[in-house]
Amino acid sequence: MSVCVAASSALAVQERPLGLPPVPIPADNPQSPEKVALGKKLFMDKRFSADGTIGCSTCHMEEKAFTDGLPVAKGIKGLKGTRNSPTVVNAAYYKEQFWDGRAASLEEQARGPFVNPVEHGLKDFAPIVETIKKDREYPGMFKKAFGIKAEQVSMDHVVKAIASFERSLVSGNSPFDRYMYGGQKDAMSEAAIRGLQIYRTKARCQDCHRIEQTSATFTDNKYHNLGVGFSLIEPEIFDIVKKVKKAKKAGIALDDDILSSQKISELGRFAVTLDLEDIGRFKTPTLRNVAVTGPYMHDGSIETLEEVIELYDQGGEDNPMLDSGIRPLRLTDQEKADLLAFLKALTSPEYQEKK
C-alpha cells in the first residue's frame, strides 16, 4: 500500500504532537474530520458482535488509554483470548498490526476481531453492514465521510473509517518529549534523565524501542523472542509447529481458529511466516504511555513495570530461540529505579490521570 504523509490541513498539524513523526496515511484513505467521527462511532458500537455486548472500545477503553487493563482480551460470553489488548494510541506508526504482525494495515487489522470466535464472535460481516443500513444516524455519516448512499456501504468503508479514527489517536508531548525535543531541560526528573542514559546504554533498550534524532516511536517494527510464555510450548514444540504448518496448508485463516489455541498463539510471528527463526517472536510494542497500559508482554503475564525490568535484567526467559540481543544486564537497584522513572516520563498529558 502506498502511504503519503498528512501535510497541509489543520488536522495534520493537530496530529503531530511533539516527539512524533508524521502519521503515515494510506493514499486510498485520506483523513477527514467526518471520517474520524464516523470511525469513532463505529469503534464504540457494541451491536457489531454476536450477543451485542462487545465493541472495539470494550478492549480499547479511552479511560484506560485505549487498553482494557486485563492480561488477555475478554470477548463475548466472557470468552478469553490469548493475547494482551495493546493500546490503540500511536498504533498508526506500526508497519504491521497485531502482536504477530499478521495484518499489513490498520484497515486490515480492524476486520479481524469482528469474526474472531472469542472476540466479537460474528460468523461473517453481513450483520455489521445490515445494522448500519437500518441505523438512524449511520447512513448520513457514511454519506458525509465517503459520499455514498446507505446501500453502497461495505466492510471496506467500515474499516477505513475505523482506521481513520485510530490514526487520530496519536499522542506525544510527554515529559520525555518536552525534555528531548522541546528543549525543556527540567521537563524530566533527575532520575528519569539518568534512566534515559541507562536506557540507551547498559539496559540495551534503545536498539529495539527506538529513539531517533527528531522523534521517537519506541519501536523497531520488528519481532523478537524474549521467551515469555515459551516454557508452555517447549516440551511439545515439534508437534505444535507441525500442527500450524498443516493448518496453514489447509488454508485455515489464523484469525478464525488457529490463534484461539493458547499453544499455537505462543509461536508468535512464526504462525504468520513459517520461518523457524520467528518462533516465539512478537512485535516490539511502543513504550509511549507504558506506565498506564499494563499489564505487560504479549500475554499480559507481567503486572508491573518493575517486574518487566527484572525480566530484561535476567536476560529474558531462557530458550533456544531467544533473541540474540537479549542477555543478562546486571543493573543495580539504582539503575532499575532510574529506568522506571524514565518509563514513567513517557506518558502523554491526556492519559496522565487515567491510570
Partner 1 sequence: MCNPKEEFMKNKMNRRSFLKRSAVAAAAATLPLSLVEFSWGSGDSRNFTFAYISDSHLTHVKGAQFVRNFDKGLKKAVTECNFMSPKPDFVVYGGDLAQLGKREELDHGLEIMSRLRHPVKWVIGEHDYYLDLGKYWQEKMGSLHYSFDHKGVHFVVLNSILTYDAWIGKWKSPEERMSNMARLDNPNGSPFMVGQKQREWLKRDLAKVSKKSPIVVMSHSPLYKIFKPWNFWTDDAEKVQALLKPFQKVTVLHGHVHQILYNQIGNITFEAMMSTSWPWPYPVSYIKKANQVPRLTVMMNRADPFHERDATGWSVLNLDDGRVTNHYKLWENKDRVLKYDKRLGYPIDVEYQAPAKRIPPQEHY
Q: By CB under 8 A, name the binding residues for partner 1.
A: 204, 207, 238, 241, 276-277, 315, 320-322, 324-325, 327-328
Find the shortest distance in angstroms from Cβ 78 to partner 1.
37
Residue 190, classified by CB atoms within 10 Å of its CB into exposed (0-12), middle (13-18) or buried (19+), is exposed
For the chain, the straight-line distance linking the first and the last C-alpha, in angstroms and rounded, comes to 36
CB of 311 to partner 1, least distance (A): 16
Instruction: Specify the residue, 63 or 277, whose C-beta has the smaller distance to partner 1.
Output: 277
Measured CA to CA, the distance from residue 265 to residue 299 in angstroms comes to 9
Residue among 2 and 324 whose Cβ is closer to partner 1: 324
Task: Pick between residue 207 and residue 256 the one whose CB is nearest to partner 1.
Answer: 207
Name which of 191 and 274 has its Cβ closer to partner 1.
274
Shortest gap between Cβ of 321 and partner 1 (angstroms)? Answer: 6
Q: Alpha-carbon distance 87 to 84, whole Å? A: 9
Nearer to partner 1, 140 or 320 (CB): 320
Long-range contacts of 250-253 (CB under 8 A, 24+ apart): none
Neighbours of 170 (CB within 10 A): 21
Q: How far is the CB of 257 from partner 1 (least distance, A)?
A: 23
Q: What's the min distance (Å) between Cβ of 219 and partner 1?
A: 16
Q: Please name the amino acid found at residue 278.
A: D
Buried b (16+ CB within 10 A) or exposed e, 248-273: eeeeeebbeebbbbbbbbbbbbbbbb
